Structures are given as structure tokens and as C-alpha cells.
């Protein structure tokens, strides 16, 4: 009897270890992919991809892949009021508004700057979580950290043309709005993640986004022609399969296994990868003051993670 109990304990410990390794591995993969998407997005825009069409076609192909996955897994789509609240919030706020602003703004700033602004995502998440998640309340330390990170953004803004061109302030401001808009549905999902599987949420939300974004592109980009270069075709494939389907399936899956601050921690590493790649391939050199500001944004996000409670908010 004792040996059976010991075997059971060892088996449970092994299963826990395997799950932890799975979470860590997928976390690293998610950060690595998202870190590379910024330079590919920027190069694609430089090569003639209209921003709204670029994000629209990305979701069109991604939703087709996800519908195939949904049918393969024989999952039924929940149609409750709560489920539709999740579908629409992610579709409209996260995918349509936030992605559109990010694509449009990245025309005017370095790819690394876009990634760095998105590193402030955990700061916004922490603020909104205070009002929606019971175990993730805002403290004076967290508030100070949010202000510290915000000061870093303002410091970067002071560099103006040194970060990409004449419309840097406009671009950074649009990115800031994109981050703010995207935060709400992510916190809402943490509160109601049990309602939908990762495939269910993504297939409906991205399908709605694809239809709306393609309509937006036809209205506002009717005078622009997509440049179907070999690189732009590669960019669409990469950003669709890796940057959208794989990453978002992983990201939503993590909601069932990590706390909200731990999930938002995914925003810390991509800016580092994006900055290195932008420097190597696009000659994007940040000024000393911009680097200090970027460091403040990333440091603020890290501090928020450290200040977060260890138990999960729900």
C-alpha cells in the first residue's frame, strides 16, 4: 500500500513537472515569435503593404485555418450572452481597433519603438485588473510603477524625429491608444476564460475582425495597391501562421494556467528581440535618452510582475 502511494505521488509530481515544462516552452516560443513579428511587419509596410489591408488579409487566412482546426476537433461554438461578449470584445477592441492602430502607427516609428510601447501592456493590465479581478488590486507601489513606466514613454516621445520621422509623436500616441484598447478584453478574458476554448474564441473573433478590417481597407485604401513582392508574400504567411494562429492559440491557452500579471509578462521580451533585429537589419539606432525611456517602460512592467500576488486572479 505504501509503495503504491509513493508511486502515485511520483506520478503526480512527474505530471506537474511536464505541465510546467510545457508552459515554459510555449511561453518562450510565444515571446520569440512575437519578438520577430515587429521587424517583418515594418519591412512589409516599407515594401508597399497598405496597413489596413495587411492586417485584414492576415486575419482572413488565419480564420480559415482556425475554422479547419475547429471542425477537425469537432468543437461546438458556445452562443451564450457571455460567450458573445468575449467574441465581440476581442474582435472589435483587440483585433480590429488595436491591430489597425498598431499597423498604421508602425509606418511612422521604428519597429523597436512599436514593440517597446507594447511592453507597457502589463502596466495597463494591472490598472484595469484592479477594477475587474478580485485578487489583483492596485497598491501604491503598483501605481508608482505605472507612473514610472508612463514617464518612460514620455521620455521617448521627447526624442521626436530620432525615432523614425516627422510623425513619431502621432505614431507613438496611436500605439498608446492601441495598448489601452487591447487591455480591457484581455482582463475580461481572464475573468471568464472558462467559457471558451482557445480555438473557439479565436475563430469567431478573428473571423469578425477579418470581415470588418477588409471593409475598412476597401473604404480607406481604395487608392492604394498591394505590392505582391516575394517578401510581402512571405510576411503574410509568417504573420498569419506564426504571428497570429500559433501565438494566439498559445496566448489564450495560457489564461487557464497563469495569473494575469504572469500572462502580461510576455510583453517584456519581444521588445528586446525587436530592438536587436531592428538595429541589425533596419539600422534603427535609438538615442541614449530613448534607450533610458525604453528601459523605464520595460522596468516598470517587470516591477509590476514582481509586485503581483502569487495566486491567480479570477
* Residue 304 to residues 177, 187, 246, 299, Cα–Cα distance (Å): 20, 15, 27, 9
Q: Express each pLDDT in 61-97 by its tens digit.
A: 999 999 999 999 999 999 999 999 999 999 999 999 9
**15-24, 147-156, 214-223, 280-289, range with the lowest pLDDT:** 147-156
Helix axes 51-73, 198-220, angle to 10 degrees: 150
* Cβ atoms of residues 304 and 123 within 8 Å: yes
CB 278 within 8 A of CB 284: yes
Using the predicted structure, report yes or no on whether residue 105 has a pLDDT greater than 80: yes
Residue ranges per structural domain of the chain: 2-307
Contact 110, 286 (CB under 8 A): yes
- Chain position carrying cell 508597399: 48
> Which residue intervals of the chain are DSSP H helices?
2-46, 51-73, 81-88, 99-105, 111-118, 121-132, 140-157, 168-192, 198-220, 230-240, 247-254, 260-264, 269-282, 288-307
214-265 pLDDT, tens digit per residue, is 999 999 999 999 999 999 999 999 999 999 999 988 988 887 777 666 676 6
Distance, CA of 131 to chain centre: 21
- In the predicted structure, residue 55 carries a pLDDT above the cut 80: yes
Q: How far is CA 119 from the centre of its chain?
A: 9
Query: H or E element: which one contains 75?
Result: none
Please tell me the least confidently modeled range out of 78-82, 97-101, 117-121.
117-121
CB 198, CB 249: distance < 8 Å: yes
3-class SS at 289?
helix
Per-residue pLDDT, 164: 62
Of 179, 161, 5, 196, whose CA–CA distance to 85 is shortest?
A: 196
pTM attached to this predicted model: 0.81
Please tell me the distance from the alpha carbon of residue 221 to that of residue 74, in angstroms, as a whole number. Answer: 38
Mean pLDDT of 273-288: 83
Q: Higher pLDDT residue, 34 or 12? A: 34
The fraction of the chain above a pLDDT of 70, given in percent, is: 82
Rounded average pLDDT over 110-133: 78
Which range is least confidently modeled, 160-174, 190-204, 273-287? Answer: 160-174
11 CB neighbour count, 10 Å cutoff: 10
- pLDDT, residue 83, reads 92
Question: How many angstroms separate the CA atoms of 255 and 295, rounded?
Answer: 27
**pLDDT at residue 312 in the model:** 37
Grid coordinates representing 155? 521620455
Kindly report the average pLDDT of the chain as a whole number. Answer: 83
Q: Is the pLDDT of residue 311 over 70?
A: no
Amino acid at each position: 500500500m505504501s509503495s503504491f502511494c509513493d508511486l502515485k505521488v511520483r506520478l503526480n509530481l512527474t505530471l506537474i513537472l511536464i505541465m510546467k515544462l510545457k508552459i515554459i516552452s510555449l511561453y518562450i516560443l510565444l515571446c520569440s515569435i512575437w519578438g520577430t513579428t515587429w521587424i517583418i511587419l515594418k519591412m512589409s509596410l516599407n515594401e508597399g503593404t497598405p496597413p489596413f489591408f495587411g492586417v485584414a488579409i492576415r486575419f482572413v487566412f488565419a480564420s480559415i485555418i482556425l475554422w479547419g482546426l475547429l471542425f477537425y476537433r469537432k468543437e461546438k461554438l458556445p452562443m451564450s450572452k457571455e460567450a458573445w461578449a468575449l467574441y465581440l470584445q476581442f474582435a472589435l477592441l483587440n483585433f480590429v481597433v488595436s491591430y489597425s492602430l498598431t499597423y498604421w502607427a508602425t509606418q511612422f516609428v521604428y519597429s523597436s519603438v512599436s514593440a517597446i510601447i507594447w511592453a507597457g501592456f502589463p502596466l495597463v493590465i494591472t490598472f484595469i485588473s484592479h477594477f475587474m479581478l478580485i485578487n489583483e488590486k492596485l497598491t501604491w507601489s503598483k501605481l508608482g510603477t505605472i507612473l514610472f513606466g508612463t514617464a518612460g514613454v514620455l521620455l521617448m516621445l521627447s526624442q521626436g524625429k530620432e525615432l523614425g520621422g516627422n510623425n513619431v509623436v502621432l505614431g507613438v500616441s496611436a500605439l498608446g491608444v492601441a495598448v489601452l484598447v487591447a487591455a480591457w478584453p484581455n482582463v475580461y478574458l481572464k475573468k471568464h476564460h472558462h467559457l471558451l476554448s482557445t480555438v473557439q474564441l479565436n475563430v469567431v473573433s478573428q473571423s469578425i475582425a477579418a470581415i470588418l478590417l477588409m471593409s475598412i481597407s476597401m473604404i480607406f485604401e481604395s487608392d492604394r495597391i498591394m505590392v505582391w513582392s516575394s517578401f510581402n508574400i512571405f510576411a503574410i504567411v509568417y504573420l498569419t501562421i506564426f504571428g497570429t494562429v500559433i501565438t494566439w492559440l498559445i496566448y489564450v491557452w495560457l489564461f487557464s494556467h497563469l495569473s494575469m500579471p504572469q500572462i502580461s509578462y510576455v510583453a517584456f521580451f519581444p521588445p528586446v528581440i525587436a530592438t536587436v533585429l531592428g538595429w541589425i537589419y533596419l539600422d534603427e539606432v535609438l538615442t541614449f535618452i530613448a534607450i533610458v525611456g525604453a528601459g523605464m517602460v520595460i522596468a516598470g512592467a517587470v516591477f509590476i510582475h514582481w509586485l503581483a500576488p502569487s495566486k491567480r486572479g479570477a
